[in-house]
Amino acid sequence: VSAGADFWLSSVSGSMIRSGKKVISVCAVRTGCGKSQTSRKIARILQGAGKKIGVIRHPMPYGNLEKQKVQRFASYADLQEQNCTIEEMEEYEPYIAMGCPVFAGVDYEAILREAEKEADIIIWDGGNNDFPFYRPDLEIVVVDPHRAGDEQSYYPGEVNFKRADVILINKMDTAEDYAVSLVKENIQKCNPHAKVIEANSPISVAQEEMIAGQRVLVVEDGPTLTHGGMKFGAGILAANKYGAKEIIDPRPWLTGTLKETFEKYPGIGNLLPAMGYGKEQIKDLEKTINEADCDCVVIGTPIDLARVINIEKPSVRVTYELEEISTVDLETVLKPFTK
C-alpha cells in the first residue's frame, strides 16, 4: 500500500463456482467451532437417504502444489501416499472411516468437476478463513458459545454468520448460559431469518479408568488452540470429567518447533497442541510426548494420533460427535436434499 498498490476484497457471490450438483456448505465463525463434526453428521444423514456424497475440503497447500492440483482420498493408504500432514489427516480420516471420498487440492474448479462425476450431493467442509468456494444451495454456519461475540469480530466468519441459512450453536453442554444467550442475541440482531439448531458436543473415552487419579499430558487439536484462540479442547474436558489428578505443563519437555509455537502463542495453557505440518514438527511432537513426565496421554485430536506417531506411554483417545437438542435439527433442514 505504501508503494501505491490498490487492493480490495472480492465479493462472496462473485467468487463462487457454480456446480451442476446440489451443494451444502458448512463453514464457521472461527476455527474449532465444530464444522467437520457437523459435516460428518450431514454426510451420514444423506448416506442414510441413499445419496452418494462427495466432500470437498478447503485448501491446505503444504506440499508440492503442482502434484496437488486435484486430490482424492478414499483410503488410509491414500493419506500416506500423498504425504498428508497431521492437520490434513485430522480432516480426511473421519470421512474415510465413513466411506466418504474427500477431495482437496489447489484447482477448485477441477476438483469440483472431479467430485461431480461420482457424487449426488457436494458437501463443502470449509476452513476457518474462508467462505464457500462453491455457490451453495444450503449454507450452514457453526458458532461456538465458548467464544461468544467472535461471530461479529472476525473476517470472514462474520460474513458467514450474516449470510447463513442455518446457524448451528454447538457445544451448549459445556458453555455458560450467559454465553449461549449472547450468541442467540447476536443471531437475532444480525441474521434473524436464519434457522437455528442447538447442539451439544458430548465427549467419550473408551478407557476412562486410565485417566482417573493420574498425571496426564493432554494433546489437543493444533489449529483450534493456536490461531483459533481456544484455551482448551476435548482432551481437557475429558481429563476434568474423568478425574485426572493433574494436567501437566508440557513446557519443560518442548522440543524444536514446538518451542516456537509456544513463543508465538503464549496463551496456550497446560496442554500440547498437535502441530504436524511437516516431518520435522511430527518428530518434535513425538519426542515431546515421549519425554514428558506423565502417567497417561489424553489425545483430544480428531485423528487417531497413535497411528501417526509412536507414543511410548499409555494413551487414551477422546472422541466427540454432534448431538442436536432442538426441535429444528439437521434432518429437518436437509429434507429437500433427501427426497
Q: Where are the domains of the chain?
A: 12-201+323-338, 205-320
Q: Tell me the per-residue pLDDT of 22-80, one tens digit each, with 9 for 90 and over.
A: 999 999 999 889 898 999 999 999 999 999 999 999 887 777 788 889 999 999 899 88
Task: Specify the pLDDT at position 105.
Answer: 93
Task: Specify the pLDDT at position 55.
Answer: 97
Q: Residue 198's closest CA among 333, 30, 22, 32?
A: 333
Question: Is 80 exceeded by the pLDDT of residue 277?
Answer: no
Q: What pTM value is reported for the model?
A: 0.87
Distance between CA atoms of residues 142 and 138, nearest Å: 13
Give percent above pLDDT 90 in the chain: 66
Pair 195, 167: CB distance under 8 Å: yes
Is the preceding peptide bond at 136 cis, omega within 30 degrees of 0? no
Q: Does 12-201+323-338 carry CATH code 3.40.50.300?
A: yes
Distance between CA atoms of residues 82 and 72, nearest Å: 10
Q: Tell me the per-residue pLDDT of 2-17, one tens digit each, with 9 for 90 and over.
A: 899 998 888 888 889 9
- Three-state SS at 333: helix
Task: Supply 55's cell numbers.
Answer: 466432500
Question: Is 70 exceeded by the pLDDT of residue 198?
Answer: yes
| Strand order from edge to edge, sheet including 70-73 | 70-73, 102-105, 53-57, 121-125, 22-28, 138-143, 166-169, 195-200, 323-324
Region of poorest pLDDT, from 92-106, 229-243, 247-261 = 229-243
Pair 100, 43: CB distance under 8 Å: yes
